Structure 1
Amino acid sequence: MDISVVIPLLNEQDSLNELHDWIVKVMKTNHFSYEIIYIDDGSTDDSWHVITQLSANNKDVKGIRFFKNFGKSQALHAGFEIAQGDVIITMDADLQDNPEEIPGLYNMIVSDGFDLVSGWKKKRYDSILSKNLPSKLFNWAARQTSGVKLNDFNCGLKAYKNDLVKNIDVNGEMHRYIPVLAKNAGFIKITEKVVLHQARKYGETKFGMDRFIHGFLDLITIWFLSRFGKRPMHLFGALGAIMLIIGFGFSLYLGIDKIFLNPTGRLITERPQFYIALSTMIIGTQFFVAGFLGEIILRTKQDKKRYTIKEYLNLN
């Protein structure tokens, strides 16, 4: 199979038929063998009913329905698990991603040998204050932190090699950082392609300003995990050692001063250096304990399903 189109969605009943017809037209025009995988992330409208009808009329349509809203990352993970195409295309269901971009993305994977091609919505139709400016700041921070030089990390329109999506774990809200996850997994042939961005035709956006706050917090998380995820003691142990050295240094100074230089002076407990030494040694010990606990958890953790699936459609 040439292409798997993975589409996570939440309450997009109005756009699904139009999106489906558009994707099918592109696939037939370019003679692609394909499957379309819709992941209903807990919709409360008639989205699942529409997907059921689409799958009944088209054997190449598959559906996954979550019991409730678990988030876009979990929806993508579920879609990646069952995707069979040589190239995986992800896109949003709101018609802001243009299916006409699929052949170009596919060719960059198959012909040019890239592992991942990320869409870049260079010209956007979003609000400047609520999305464009925060998005530019967010993307700048992501580039500086991750070393992946993309202009638009959060674009839903991306293309991947099949073995890439099978070897990364998309969880939490890490869908924004799939290129970073790919790089950390050893897939380094990552590039971007300018794609058309269209104004939303139906409904309202599911994301507000809080997504950028969450995005920055996730960025810190993924930086930490990529640097110290397999060796937390390297970070916490180093911080603990620094704190303990500072604490022992002040303690040594207080001891020498009290015994040899000023034996009749103030009590050690009356001097501010005593409390600095005490505090830093306690903090240093806590850092060491955190490092040990991190190592223990890392070695004993068990994978836990992060979502529950209510129903499948057209899965063989």
Structure 2
Amino acid sequence: MTDSPVSNAYIGAAPALPADPAPPHRLSVVVPMYNEIDNVRPLIDTVQAALQAYPHPWELIVVDDGSRDGTGAALQRHAATVGPHIRVLRLLRNFRQTAAMQAGIDAARGDVIVTMDGDLQNDPRDIPRMVARLLIENMDMVAGWREKRQDGFALRRLPSMIANRLIRKITGMQFKDLGCSLKAFRTSVLREVRLYGEMHRFIPAWLATVTTPDRMTEEPVNHRAREHGESKYGLSRTFRVIVDLLSVYFFLNFGARPGHFFGAVGLAVLGFGSAVLGYLGILKLLGESIGGRPLLFVGFFCVMGGLQFLLTGVLSELLIRIYFDGSHARQYHLMATPPVADGEGWHA
């Protein structure tokens, strides 16, 4: 397959600068891609067109997440024709979107990081406005809100509505569109969290552990229908979100004190089992036979289970202390690439 021509719908004039210019900064745009060979050239060209007149240094970091359709090679070929400010990272295999996004975040050198999807449904012309709001209003995150989504209802919008409602209910984050990948972050804050599994959907919730929700806001953004490639999402995403939400709830509430969670459960179960055995003990003293009662087994296993929960709580406290004292291992591996000096590879 070859790179597809750039659709005119994706090319527009450079955006007008905000009335109040943002303070000096460097911008890194991070885009993970997986099997999107037809979107390689349009993506790079539309970002280049949208930021051509940007008054501050910027770079585009495109992360090929182990694509098997030639996306990585196509990215490198086209990036070489545009300029050194287009940087391509290639993962050795498909580590999924969250790991690819984290790889781009780790490689970013800007004071502001903007993330977006590689399917061309996000409009890069929204980036200057979002960054200006981030810096002028002194925010830590500005999340895109797709007011008018151009997706099918059954396979995309309905699962997204269900997922957003569940996330708002569990996390307490009242964002209208937590699934939109187009977001602008202050780098110093984003680097305080690490993304694992498929936690890219819950970045606002993770950021709430290091900054106040008052420093996070939403901004309406343009949304376009997909023209090339196939969507990587579907109804199965809703079930993955439910599983991930359990992890998010645990880490947000007990991430730094897991012993409290397991200890509370252990004490409750142990207390119930002890009460059952105490009741049976009284009956035994009164002369009744309790050996064949199912309640005896319930009490016994509740006591044993409660003790195990308490022991798990102690072990989890030891592990969390090791975690905070040790280094964080990465969950992705990059192909070898030449080092980039801090002052090189910027569009200015």
**TM-score normalized by the length of structure 1:** 0.94
What is the letter of the counterpart of residue 226 of structure 1?
A: L
Secondary structure of the residue aligned to 2:52 is helix
Q: Which of 155, 175, 181 is the aligned partner of 1:150?
A: 175
Does 1:205 find its partner at 2:227?
no
Does 1:224 find its partner at 2:250?
yes
Asked if 2 retains the 8 angstrom alpha-carbon contact of 1:118 and 1:192, the reply is yes
Give 2:6's aligned residue. none
- 1:169 deviation in Å? 0.4
Give 1:65's aligned residue. 90
Q: Which of 166, 172, 189 is the aligned partner of 2:197?
A: 172
Q: Which of 131, 147, 160 is the aligned partner of 1:106?
A: 131
Q: Which runs of structure 2 are paired with 1:218-257 in the superposition (5 Å)?
A: 218-257=244-283
- 1:296 deviation in Å? 2.6
Asked if 1 retains the 8 angstrom alpha-carbon contact of 2:258 and 2:313, the reply is yes
What is the letter of the counterpart of residue 114 of structure 1?
A: M
Q: Which of 291, 307, 318 is the aligned partner of 1:269?
A: 291
Give 1:75's aligned residue. 100
Asked if 1 retains the 8 angstrom alpha-carbon contact of 2:173 and 2:205, the reply is yes
- 1:314 deviation in Å? 7.1
- 1:119 deviation in Å? 0.8
In structure 1, how many angstroms separate the alpha carbons of the residues matched to 2:183 and 2:197?
19
Give 2:18's aligned residue. none
What is the letter of the counterpart of residue 59 of structure 2?
A: E
Q: Which of 292, 301, 306 is the aligned partner of 1:284?
A: 306
Q: Structure 1 or 2: larger helix share? A: 1
Note the aligned Cα RMSD (angstroms): 1.6
Asked if 1 retains the 8 angstrom alpha-carbon contact of 2:44 and 2:79, the reply is no
Secondary structure of the residue aligned to 1:184 is coil
Secondary structure of the residue aligned to 2:138 is coil
In structure 2, how many angstroms separate the alpha carbons of the residues matched to 1:157 and 1:63?
19
User: Structure 1, residues 136-186: CA drift from partner, whole Å, max 9, x if none?
Assistant: 111111111111110111111110011122211011110001111111122
- 1:31 deviation in Å? 2.7
Question: Which 5+ residue runs of structure 2 have no aligned equivalent?
Answer: 1-24, 342-348
Asked if 2 retains the 8 angstrom alpha-carbon contact of 1:118 and 1:158, the reply is yes
- 1:3 deviation in Å? 1.3
Asked if 2 retains the 8 angstrom alpha-carbon contact of 1:108 and 1:114, the reply is yes
Asked if 2 retains the 8 angstrom alpha-carbon contact of 1:9 and 1:41, the reply is yes
Asked if 2 retains the 8 angstrom alpha-carbon contact of 1:8 and 1:72, the reply is yes
Asked if 2 retains the 8 angstrom alpha-carbon contact of 1:62 and 1:315, the reply is no
Does 1:121 find its partner at 2:146?
yes
Does 1:93 find its partner at 2:122?
no
Asked if 2 retains the 8 angstrom alpha-carbon contact of 1:52 and 1:313, the reply is no
What is the letter of the counterpart of residue 292 of structure 1?
A: V
In structure 1, how many angstroms separate the alpha carbons of the residues matched to 2:337 and 2:99?
15
Asked if 2 retains the 8 angstrom alpha-carbon contact of 1:62 and 1:312, the reply is no
